[in-house]
Amino acid sequence: MRIAIAEFKQETNSFVPFTTTVKTFEDQYLYRGDDILTAFGNARLEVPGALDACREAGATPLPLLATMAMASGTVERKSFDTLMNEIVERLRAVLPVDGVFLALHGAMILEDEPDAEAEIVRRVRAELKPGTPITVSLDLHGHITAAMLQPDVAYIGYREFPHIDMYETGYRCTKLLIDWINGKVKPVMALSKRHMVFSPDSARTTTPPLSDIVAEGRAMEARGEVLHVSLFPVQPWIDTPDLGFAALVCGEDQQQAQVAADKLAKMAWDRRAEFEPDVTPLDEIIRIGLSSPGLTVASDSGDTPSGGAAADSTAVLAGLLAAGADRADRISICTICDAEAAVEAAKAGVGKTITLAVGHKRSGLGDPLTVTGKVKTISDGQYVLEGPGGNGMVGEMGLTIVLAIGSIRLNLRSIPHFEWDLGIHKSVGLDPAAAALVFVRSPSHFRVSYTPIAARIFLADTPGPTCVNMRRIPFTKVTRPFYPLDLAND
For residue 441, with 0-12 CB atoms within 10 Å meaning exposed, 13-18 middle and 19 or more buried, which class applies? buried
Q: With respect to Zn ion, which residue has the nearer C-beta, 141 or 159? A: 141
Q: With respect to Zn ion, which residue has the nearer C-beta, 37 or 70? A: 70
* Phi, psi at 137, each rounded to 5°: -95, 145
Tell me the residue number closest to Zn ion, measured at CB. Answer: 141
Stretch of residues binding Zn ion (CB under 5 A), selected from 30-38, 134-142, 319-327, 340-348 = 134-142
Kindly state the number of chain residues that form the binding site for Zn ion, as judged by CB under 5 A.
Answer: 2
Position 425 contacts Zn ion (CB under 5 A): no
* Phi, psi at 315, each rounded to 5°: -55, -45
Stretch of residues binding Zn ion (CB under 5 A), selected from 26-34, 141-149, 277-285, 479-487 = 141-149
Stretch of residues binding Zn ion (CB under 5 A), selected from 137-145, 337-345, 377-385, 442-450 = 137-145
Alpha-carbon distance of 373 to 352, in angstroms, equals 8
Site for Zn ion in 24-53 (CB under 5 A): none
Stretch of residues binding Zn ion (CB under 5 A), selected from 133-141, 202-210, 354-362, 375-383 = 133-141
CB of 335 to Zn ion, least distance (A): 23
Q: Is the bond into 368 cis (omega within 30 degrees of 0)?
A: no
CA nearest neighbour of 470 among 484, 449, 482 = 484
Gyration radius of the chain over CA positions: 23
CB of 475 to Zn ion, least distance (A): 20
Chain centre to alpha carbon of residue 99 = 29
Q: With respect to Zn ion, which residue has the nearer C-beta, 7 or 139? A: 139
Cβ contact 485:257 at 8 Å: no
Q: With respect to Zn ion, which residue has the nearer C-beta, 102 or 397? A: 102
CB of 160 to Zn ion, least distance (A): 10
Residue 104: its H or E element: strand 99-104
* Phi, psi at 125, each rounded to 5°: -60, -35
Q: Is the bond into 209 cis (omega within 30 degrees of 0)?
A: yes
Alpha-carbon distance of 11 to 17, in angstroms, equals 15
Name beta bridge partners: 231.
Answer: 247
Stretch of residues binding Zn ion (CB under 5 A), selected from 72-80, 138-146, 381-389, 391-399 = 138-146
For residue 453, with 0-12 CB atoms within 10 Å meaning exposed, 13-18 middle and 19 or more buried, which class applies? middle
CB of 141 to Zn ion, least distance (A): 4
Amino acid identity at 114: P
Q: With respect to Zn ion, which residue has the nearer C-beta, 301 or 407? A: 301
* Residues 86-125, mask of contacts with Zn ion (x by CB under 5 A): ----------------------------------------
Stretch of residues binding Zn ion (CB under 5 A), selected from 132-140, 270-278, 308-316, 383-391 = 132-140
Stretch of residues binding Zn ion (CB under 5 A), selected from 136-144, 167-175, 317-325, 450-458 = 136-144
CB of 139 to Zn ion, least distance (A): 4
With CB under 5 A as the contact rule, the residue among 16, 21, 141, 290 that binds Zn ion is 141
* Phi, psi at 34, each rounded to 5°: -65, -15
Q: With respect to Zn ion, which residue has the nearer C-beta, 92 or 163? A: 163
CA nearest neighbour of 163 among 126, 128, 206 = 206
CB of 278 to Zn ion, least distance (A): 21
CB of 308 to Zn ion, least distance (A): 11
Cβ contact 92:128 at 8 Å: no
Cβ contact 419:442 at 8 Å: yes
Q: With respect to Zn ion, which residue has the nearer C-beta, 50 or 203? A: 203
Q: How far is CA 159 from CA 42, 210, 229, 248, in A?
A: 21, 11, 9, 12
Position 139 contacts Zn ion (CB under 5 A): yes
Stretch of residues binding Zn ion (CB under 5 A), selected from 36-44, 139-147, 375-383, 434-442 = 139-147
Residue 51: its H or E element: helix 46-57
CB of 70 to Zn ion, least distance (A): 12
CB of 197 to Zn ion, least distance (A): 14
Stretch of residues binding Zn ion (CB under 5 A), selected from 87-95, 140-148, 223-231, 421-429 = 140-148
> Cβ neighbours of residue 411 under 8 Å, at least 6 residues apart?
333, 334, 335, 336, 400, 402, 424, 425, 428, 430
CB of 232 to Zn ion, least distance (A): 10
User: b/e for 337-354, b at 16 or more Cβ within 10 A?
Assistant: bbbebbebbbebeeeeeb
Q: With respect to Zn ion, which residue has the nearer C-beta, 159 or 228? A: 159
Q: With respect to Zn ion, which residue has the nearer C-beta, 9 or 409? A: 9
Q: With respect to Zn ion, which residue has the nearer C-beta, 141 or 228? A: 141
Q: With respect to Zn ion, which residue has the nearer C-beta, 180 or 198? A: 198
Q: With respect to Zn ion, which residue has the nearer C-beta, 199 or 296? A: 199
CB of 57 to Zn ion, least distance (A): 28
CB of 193 to Zn ion, least distance (A): 18
Cβ contact 354:344 at 8 Å: yes
Residues that bind Zn ion (CB under 5 A): 139, 141
